[in-house]
Each structure stands twice: as C-alpha cells, then as structure tokens.
Chains A and B, each alone.
Chain A
Amino acid sequence: MKLLTVPGILENLGAIRQFVNQTGREAGLSGQALYDLVLAVDELAANTVLYGYEQNRQPGNIVVTAKTSKTEFTVTLEDTAPAFDPGKHNLPQDADLIQPMEERNIGGLGIYLAVKGVDGFKYQRIDQKNIVKLSKKLPPGS
C-alpha cells in the first residue's frame, strides 16, 4: 500500500495526479484506463478542495492511498470536510449533455466523469471523515 498526504488546496491537484499515475502504472494500468482513474481522483479531490474545504472555510488534508490486489487497483481518498456523498449528487442526465452549448449549465459534470470512468465507486462516512474508494480492474496478467 502506498500513501500520499497533502494539504487540500488546488495547487496540490498535480501532485495527486502524479501519485495516481505512478502507482497505477506500477500496478499494471495504462492508456485510457489509467487516464480515467487519474481523472476520477482529480475530479473528486478538486471537489473536496472547492466545496468541502474552501466553501466551508475549513482547511484540511487529503489523504490518498493506493492499493493493488490480484484483480484490481484501488485508490482511496480521505478528507475531513463536511459529509458529502458524491454518489448522491445530482448528476447531469444524458439529455443535458446534448443541449446546445449556449443553453447548457452542467453542474456535477466532474462527478459524472469520475463515476463513469471507474469500475468501482464506494462512499463511506467514518469518524468525521469522507472516504471514497475508486477502483479499476487490472488487465489479465498484470
């Protein structure tokens, strides 16, 4: 298991992506599958920074854990912001995404991309922490 702890600020999104990129590659992910997982983690981390910490004027850390099993690679994000279950967020519907650009207001797009881009998505609230687990299946032979 590998772990990264950073202050929850936008400036650290690049470091979080780099961590997921590197650990995911070591686990056997590559190409679009790895990109999708990096995007999912980045979207949720950005959400934590903007709407969890900054909006509530409540700074805190983001803890990122990477774990590999025989069949999947899992990234866990932990924060101490107020409770927020991304899976219960009002996601855009497919019909929203075919509106002309001038008429669009895509709230929740980041979470939509995150959920669509992973094989497993689980939210828990434990000890005043938001814990989100994102997993990707590993290609055979990894």
Chain B
Amino acid sequence: MGFNLSYELDTDLVKVVLRGELDGQTAIKSQKTFEEAAKLKPDKVVVYMKDLNYMSSAGIRLLLYIKQRVMSKSSQMILVAPQATVLNTLTMSGVTQAVHVVDAY
C-alpha cells in the first residue's frame, strides 16, 4: 500500500489528509508538500488520519518538524480520527500530550 498526502485551504485553517502508510520512505517524500500546506495557515493545521493505516517514528518526526519549524509558536495542530494502532504510537511517543486529538472536526 502506498501513501498519499493532500491538502485544502479553508477560511481560517488548512486541512491535510493522510492516507495509506507513512514510513521512513514516504515521510521523506511528503515533507515538502506537508510544509507547503502548513505555510498557508501556520496558525492552524488540521490533520485527518482516518485512512492512515500505518505510521512509524518517521511520521512522528514529520509532525514534530511541521509543528516546530513551520508553524508559529502559538499555533494549533489538531489530529483527527487516528486509527487505534496509530493512536497508540502517538500516545507512546508523547505526541498526544502536546497536540489535540479529536474524533471529528
């Protein structure tokens, strides 16, 4: 299974949709597009994860990179509907203590 990242600009936020498997290869390949998306609305990035079936630490590092280096300091990153297995990785990595994880947005 591959990986796909798409994004759209809404009024006061940018919506990023992740699908497939985010690993060491696909995280590197999609960094530029994710960066491009976050720069459009660096205050609020909403990441839709329902169809993300797999995420390794490379995906965690990508989220951290976007939040630390691309978004503004007071910005908000919201992760929407991660699958239970992906949520477990986010929790073990401590990401859920630093960003909002919600069922729907």
Given A32-B84, A109-B93, CB of A101 within 8 Å of CB of B67: yes
Is B95 positioned at the interface, with any CB of A under 8 Å from its CB? yes
Count of interface residues, chain A, beta-carbon cutoff 8 Å: 29
Residues of A within 8 A of B23 (CB): 10, 13-14, 17, 42, 46
Q: Which residues of A contact B84 (CB under 8 A)?
A: 32
CB within 8 Å of B: which of A37-95? 38-39, 42-43, 46, 49-50
B56→A46 contact, CB < 8 A: yes
What is the number of residues of chain B that contact chain A, defined by CB distance less than 8 Å? 28
Of the candidates A35, A50, A106, which one forms a contact with B24 in the assembled complex, judged by CB atoms under 8 Å apart?
A: A50
* B7 interface contact, C-beta 8 A: no
Kindly state the separation between the CA atoms of A39 and B94 in the bound complex, as whole angstroms.
Answer: 17
Chain A, residues 9-43, CB within 8 Å of chain B (1/0): the string is 01101100100000000000001100100110011
Footprint of A on B, CB under 8 Å?
1, 21, 23-25, 28, 54, 56-58, 60-61, 64, 67-68, 73, 77, 84-85, 88-89, 92-95, 97-99
> Is B60 within 8 A of A109, CB to CB?
yes
Known: A14-B1, A102-B67. A35 touches B85 (CB 8 A): yes
What is the chain B residue whose CB lies nearest that of A50?
B24
What's the nearest-Cβ distance from chain A to residue B25, in Å?
4
Tell which of A35, A100, A102, A113 touches B93, judged by Cβ atoms closer than 8 Å.
A113
Neighbouring B residues of A106 by C-beta, 8 Å: 57, 60-61, 64, 93
| Complex Cα gap A42–B27 (Å) | 13
Q: Is the interface of A mostly helix, strand, loop or mixed?
A: helix
Give the Cβ gap from B63 to chain A, nearest Cβ, in Å: 8
Q: How far is the CA of A98 from the CA of B93 in the complex (A)?
A: 9
Name the A residues within 8 Å of B77 (CB-CB): 101
Once the chains are docked, how many angstroms separate the CA of A93 from the CA of B1? 33
Q: Please give me the 9 A-B residue pairs with the lowest Cβ-Cβ distance, nearest first.
A: A97-B94, A46-B24, A110-B57, A10-B25, A101-B98, A35-B85, A109-B57, A101-B67, A13-B23
